[in-house]
Amino acid sequence: MAVALITGASSGLGAEFARQLAARGADLVLVARDRSALDAVADDIRARSGVSVEVLPADLLDGGALAAVEERLSRGVDVLVNNAGFGLDLAFEKNAIDLEVRHLRLHVEAAMRLTHAALPAMLERGSGRIVNVASVAGFVPRGTYGAVKGWLISFSRWANVVYRPRGVTVTAVCPGFVHTNFHERLGLPPGKEGVPPGMWLDAERVVREGLRDAASGRSVSIPSWRYKALVAASRLLSDTAVVRAAMRGR
């Protein structure tokens, strides 16, 4: 029986990854800060799928908590989903620098450490999948959020080439705007995100296509033809044009 560890599993894409992996028969290790929210997700999945669900509350910006998750990974999992993250205002100069540093550490340092912890057991076994939840923002200049997601994409592309021949695939899943509670956590109620209706994606579709591409061994997964086209077009335009276009929505 496969075991999947998912960070940021208490809501949004993380909870959807948990549901879909459980539906495929995987036992789960759910990681997030909110114990009560994790318990609610775990109870629902146990009732639906009958798989084993371990709850591991942890703030990945706390050194001791991060180390506990690393230790669990070192004991072996079949799938790691690095999903934990949060967004910031695009006005970098107005953001508190300590908050920017926390943002960088969670998206980059925590994902790097957890990947490093999971790899040895996967490589020894000769199989494993690592999914890094990035964003199409990683392909365009879009504040520090785009920068940290760009790191995840670049790292995943490199790691997939290096480790896929040894049985471990690494895939960056890069959605656009997704219907989750991500924007609410930024203080933006539904309908106030500044996003055209046609650009929204459903979490179920993002996760389904991401898992499919990970199973195919792809380095990068971009759900929906609309975002594939936008990423392709961004490579042909000037930085000024791309930045101005990317300023739409939060």
pLDDT of residue 29 exceeding 70, the answer is yes
Domains of the chain, residue spans: 3-246
Q: How far apart are CA 19 and CA 12, in angstroms?
A: 11
Name the catalytic one among 17, 139, 145, 163.
Answer: 145
| pTM assigned to the model | 0.88
Average of per-residue pLDDT across 199-225: 91
- CATH architecture observed for domain 3-246: 3-Layer(aba) Sandwich (3.40)
145 catalytic residue (yes or no): yes
pLDDT of residue 248 exceeding 70, the answer is no
Q: How far apart are CA 3 and CA 118, in angstroms?
A: 12
Residue 233: CB partners within 8 Å, gap ≥ 6?
A: none
pLDDT, tens digit, 9 for 90 and up, residues 130-160: 999 999 989 887 789 999 999 999 999 999 9
Q: What is the Rg, in whole angstroms, of the alpha carbon atoms belonging to the chain?
A: 17
Highest mean pLDDT, choosing among 58-67, 90-99, 183-192: 58-67
Pick from 236, 235, 232, 207: nearest CA to 221: 207
Cβ–Cβ < 8 Å for 16, 41:
no
Average of per-residue pLDDT across 195-213: 83
Cβ–Cβ < 8 Å for 146, 87:
no
What was the pLDDT predicted at 1?
A: 66
